[in-house]
Amino acid sequence: MSVVLNVLSKSLKSLSSGILLLGSFCTAHAANSDMVGAAAPDFTLKSNQGENVRLAEQRGQVVMLNFWASWCAPCRKEMPLLDELHQRYESAGFVLYGVNVEPDVTAGDKLIKDLGVGFPILYDPESIASKAYDIDAMPTTVVIDRDGVVRYVNRGYRSGDEEKYRAQVKELIRE
Query: All domains of the chain, ordered by start, with CATH?
Result: 2-174 (3.40.30.10)
Instruction: Report angle CA 45, 51, 56 to the nearest 5 degrees.
Output: 50
The answer to whether 97 and 122 are in contact (CB under 8 A) is yes
Global pTM value: 0.81
The answer to whether 154 and 82 are in contact (CB under 8 A) is no
Going residue by residue through the chain, which has 175 residues, state the pLDDT in tens, using 9 for 90 and above: 444 334 334 443 443 333 333 433 333 333 346 889 999 999 999 999 999 999 999 999 999 999 999 999 999 999 999 999 999 999 999 999 999 999 999 999 999 999 999 999 999 999 999 999 999 999 999 999 999 999 999 999 999 999 999 999 999 999 9
| DSSP sequence for 76-112 | HHHHHHHHHHHHHHGGGTEEEEEEE--SS-HHHHHHH
SS3 67: strand
Instruction: Report angle CA 70, 152, 129 to the nearest 5 degrees.
Output: 50
- 148 DSSP assignment: S
Q: What was the pLDDT predicted at 5?
A: 37
